[in-house]
Amino acid sequence: MKQASVAAAVLAFLLLRVLSAAAHGGGQLVAGPVQSGPYTLSVWVNPPQPHAGQPLHFTVGVADPQDGAPILDAQILITMEARTGDVPPITAEATTEQSVNRLFYETDVDVAQPGPYLVTTSVTGPGGEGNVVIELGVDPPSRVNWFLLGLVGLSLVLVLGWWQTHRGRADGE
């Protein structure tokens, strides 16, 4: 029964790692690396297929095109403009303070309405200005709450592990 406890602990650890990894950074590369003005820009979004009503995470890499060194003293502004309807533009500043490793600029955006958006990533830094524009589709709200489903799964694994451990003691093992 000790094996069941170890397996439950390993599963719980892996589930927590997956949930925390989904919270910040990375995602799907949607632009770049592309030269824009005096910079090389790369933009990632997470989740790869955004849904209205869920946070949309942007990670932006800004580099010197000559040597690839990261530019860490720029101002980054993300602007999302809906292609349809009367949705006001959404803007958010991406900073290195929000980044896990401080080499990228990151921000979270709340998108309330589904539909196609033009996303402009504007960079202003010591070398000048640059921007990259992409089109990004935002799906209607997801009917599945994956975070809640993950917590239920984790709870189930922990309860089963506890039950297996205590059942073995009651049986005299």
Q: Are 125 and 62 in contact (CB under 8 A)?
A: yes
Exposed / middle / buried, residue 85 (Cβ in 10 Å: 0-12, 13-18, 19+): exposed
pLDDT at 65: 93
Ranges of each domain in the chain: 2-170
pLDDT at 171: 61
Phi, psi (rounded to 5 degrees) for 111: -110, 115
CATH number 3.40.605.10 is the correct assignment for the domain at 2-170: no
Structure confidence by residue, pLDDT tens digits, 81-135: 998 878 889 999 999 988 888 899 999 999 988 999 999 999 999 999 999 999 9
pLDDT at 89: 92
In whole angstroms, give the CA distance from residue 26 to residue 58. 8
Q: Which pair of tokens denotes residue 151?
A: 């917590």
Beta strands in 16-110 (DSSP E): 28-36, 39-46, 55-63, 75-82, 90-94, 105-110
Structure confidence by residue, pLDDT tens digits, 128-162: 999 999 999 999 987 666 666 677 788 888 887 77
Structure confidence by residue, pLDDT tens digits, 51-69: 999 999 999 999 999 999 9
